[in-house]
Chains A and B, each alone.
Chain A
Amino acid sequence: MDPTQRRAYWRRNLRLMAVLLTIWALVSFGAGIIFVDALNNFSIFSVPLGFWFAQQGSIVVFVLLIAVYVWRMDRLDKEFGITEYEQEVHHS
């Protein structure tokens, strides 16, 4: 990769991270804690929604966030022609 490509790769990586971490904060600190009382007026699987986010939903979303990250990074790597993953086992 030349320097321009590197900058582009890194910027796309950072943008993806920013989006995912915003969702991360919104489901846990947001839905699970700050807005819990308001959300408890609704329910999902007969559980008050805020409470559900705090004990179930946030965890499910966390798994999905990492899944999206892994998937998008794979695509990004492919786009920038990074393929030599398996040869890079090196440890001192």
Chain B
Amino acid sequence: MSDLQLWTLVFVAITFSLYIYIAYRSRVSTTSGFYVAGGGIPAPANGAAVAADWMSAASFISMAGIVAFSQNGYAGSVYLMGWTGGYVLLALLLAPYLRKFGKYTVPDFVGDRYSESARMVAVVCAIVVSFVYVAGQMSGVGVVFQRFLGVDTTVGVIIGMVIVFFYAVLGGMKGITWTQVAQYTVLIIAYLIPAVAISVQLTGIPVPQIGFGQILEELNGLQEDLGIAAYTEAFTQTNMLNMILITGALMFGTAGLPHVIVRFYTARSVRAARYSALWALFFISLLYTTAPAIGAFSKFNVIEQLNGTPVADAPSWFESWSSVGLITHTDTNGDGVINMGAADVTELAINNDIVVLATPEIAGLPAPIVGLVAAGGLAAALSTASGLLLVISSSVANDVYYKKINPRADEKRQLLVGRIAMAGAIVVAGYLGINPPGFVAQVVALAFGLAAASFFPILVLGIFWKKCTAKGATAGMAAGLATTLAYQLWTIDIYGNSDGIFGIQETGFGTIGMLINFAVTIVVSQFTEKPTPVMQQLVEDVRYPGKTELVAAHASGELAEEELHGETHHGEHEAR
């Protein structure tokens, strides 16, 4: 076992024991504890949990690389702005009001505010989006185990499943939240230490966000010498329209993702929900402002150390990452030298993941830090996976089983169903992680478009427009989802490979789908039966913090179905 593997093992063992200990300490016995941690998490902790939940294996491992290497540099800004800007929308438009509404899941809000058929559409969307996402996390766990410890990917995924099983099934949302606080701490330390070290090494400035500026001019020069557009130049491959639409789809999608929204239900109060959003974005911004700096440093190092270097003289990290297939050198002209250049002439292919994983090695940092990065990658993947699994489990147990199949189920039984659903979801997620469908990577990006086109408009209108009707919302959700899905299937490479309309990329169409959803919901609402007076009053009450009788009565389930949705709404509920 090498030094590096030993340190990785040490850090993984320490962090995993910590997670299990926390889970054991925060085990729960009520549905409210299981779904929303009893609504009693203080704001900074909740913010750290949101941040860990949000920052996935992809954010931690791949994002810096995507920004720096997939295009010239500027185009990656869509991810940086898109995945942070959505939190402003969440904080201002959704979090405080959904917290006041006081339910467990996004489908719960949709079902209560609109109708039972809307609830079912929302359940299906929430489960599909979550499974797509969780598959990527589980395979991320396998990849980290394989690269750093040399164990088989399958074994890695199974270890991950066992850990998540332990703390998610036992502790529900409470266990998950406190574990995520620990995981955020691990992942941000693991991300910042190498970033600071490499920034000092290259620029002498210990703040990567400032050191970033010192490197850009040289990097621009290096890229131009290679015949690539300058790092900072805008619109070299992605045009302005697509930049706007993709950024928009990621922002509105973020604000519509069920596993993020549900986190604001765990806050103590409306005020705590607002503060949670602030803490969350602050914690996220630490990583998101560092990522572009790491990307630029790493690209600078790679070009500087590799371009024009004979293969025999290349630094040792080149060798070690080539051997696992993350760097590929094809000696097209047979001169034994690594020649870099524009996409069509370069001899070097670099996997996006290498940027973060190899940074410590490229910067020549000691083995313990490499081990820490591995533990950070695992923390990012596991925390996101557990949050998603909770959404799946609560959707099945609360929205389907309790609300549809057996409304008479007592607390104990609901909790049991929740735990069984969680266990089932972990097994499916593990299977998807071991045998990832080839299109997962693409589908994850598309999931944001779907969330933007389906959930965001009806959540916002449900709060800000009292007269938004059930039929309007259902029609809007269906129209947004259908057009976006159809466009994505039509244009995405693996299915259609068409240029689309006005060259709009499939990842950006979610913004258009969202506008369609808004338009359809508003128009149909004009011509359909208005919400009941009780419902309109409830929406009105949700707008003000502080205790209101009606909201309290609704949250504790004391309001009758007829009062909320009108007499003729559902036959099946009249039996109650």
Contact = CB atoms under 8 A, between A and B. Distances in A.
A17 to B, nearest CB: 5
Interface in B70-106: 74, 76-77, 80-81, 84-85, 87-89, 91-93, 96, 100, 102-104
A43 B275 CA distance: 33
Interface string A36-73: 11001001111110111011101110110111011001
Interface in B106-135: none
30 contacts: A6-B543, A24-B85, A24-B88, A28-B85, A29-B247, A32-B77, A33-B244, A34-B240, A40-B234, A46-B216, A48-B232, A51-B234, A54-B74, A54-B234, A60-B289, A63-B282, A63-B285, A66-B87, A66-B91, A66-B92, A69-B92, A69-B274, A73-B96, A74-B271, A77-B546, A88-B546, A90-B555, A91-B555, A92-B104, A92-B556
Given A54-B80, A66-B278, A85 B271 contact: yes
Given A44-B213, A87-B547, A90-B552, 10 more contacts: A6-B543, A10-B543, A13-B543, A34-B244, A55-B67, A56-B212, A59-B285, A63-B278, A66-B278, A92-B103
A57 B169 CA distance: 41
A77 B272 CA distance: 13
Interface of A: 1, 6, 9-10, 13, 17, 20-21, 24, 28-29, 32-34, 36-37, 40, 43-48, 50-52, 54-56, 58-60, 62-63, 65-67, 69-70, 73-74, 77, 82-92
B39 interface: yes
Contact of A6 (B265, B282, B544): B544
A20 B92 contact: yes
A51 B232 contact: yes
Most buried by A among B281, B546, B552: B546
Nearest to A90: B555
A91 to B, nearest CB: 5
A37 B74 CA distance: 11
Given A21-B92, A84-B546, A86-B269, A47 B285 contact: no
User: Interface majority SS on B: helix, strand, loop or mixed?
Assistant: helix
A20 B281 CA distance: 16
Contacts of B545: 77, 82, 85, 88
Contact of A82 (B87, B91, B546, B552): B546
Contacts of A82: 544-546
Contact of B546 (A24, A63, A85): A85
Nearest to A39: B234
B387 to A, nearest CB: 18
Contacts of A90: 39, 102, 551-552, 555-556
Given A51-B232, A91-B555, A20 B88 contact: yes
B40 interface: yes
Given A47-B216, A59-B81, A62-B285, A89 B40 contact: yes
A51 B74 contact: yes
Nearest to A65: B88
Given A86-B269, A90-B555, A60 B544 contact: no
A54 B243 CA distance: 11
Interface in B284-317: 285, 288-289, 292
A88 B232 contact: no
Main DSSP-derived SS at the A contact region:
helix
Interface string B534-568: 00000010011111000110011100000000000
Contacts of B89: 21, 24
B292 to A, nearest CB: 4
Interface in B258-275: 265, 268-272, 274-275
Contacts of B80: 54-55, 58-59
Given A40-B234, A55-B292, A69-B274, A62 B546 contact: no
Contacts of A29: 244, 247-248
Contacts of A36: 74, 234-235
Contacts of A62: 84-85, 87-88, 281, 285
A56 B289 contact: yes
B5 interface: no
A88 B104 CA distance: 15
Nearest to B90: A66
A24 B91 CA distance: 12
A54 B81 contact: yes
A13 B552 CA distance: 22
The 8 closest A-B pairs by CB, nearest first: A54-B77, A46-B213, A45-B213, A85-B269, A51-B232, A92-B557, A47-B213, A55-B292
A28 B543 CA distance: 28
B146 interface: no
Contacts of A83: 546
A75 to B, nearest CB: 12
Given A51-B74, A66-B88, A91 B102 contact: yes
